Amino acid sequence: MQNNTSGSGLSKSFGLKMAIIIVISAILGSGVFKKAAPMAELLHAPWLVVLAWLLAGIIVLFGILSIAELSSLFPSSGGPFLWLEKIYGKAVSFFYGWS
């Protein structure tokens, strides 16, 4: 992107690095940083903490891949409500909508 300078001499730039930082900070909450110390206290080994985070990441990856597959299978708006209606019928999607 372009670097535009204003009259104050400040650079107005928004590069790839800043975009990545903004996306990561929007996805990760502060709880990630608050959870590391209690995990280290309970697990007593740094490699177990890393292993726990990796396993959690793999589980989340399976969930994301499932959502991506359903989104490509039913390419219209509605999300989980639509998926449940198409797969299980209107009653299940109705209860999902009210839960």
Question: And the tokens for 96?
Answer: 């999902």
For the chain, give every domain's residue range: 1-32, 45-99
pLDDT at 62: 95
The count of C-alpha atoms lying within 13 angstroms of the C-alpha of 35, restricted to the half-sphere facing its C-beta, is 9
Q: With left for phi above 0 and alpha for psi between -120 and 50, is residue 13 left, alpha or beta?
A: beta
pLDDT at 47: 92
For residue 28, report the phi and psi dihedrals to the nearest 5 degrees.
-85, 130
d(CA 74, CA 61): 20
For the residues 26-32, what does the mean pLDDT come to? 77
Chain segment 41-93, per-residue pLDDT in tens: 998 888 999 999 899 999 999 999 998 998 888 888 888 898 889 989 999 99
- Buried/exposed code over 28-37 (b: 16+ C-beta within 10 A; e: otherwise): eeeeeeeeee
pLDDT at 31: 76
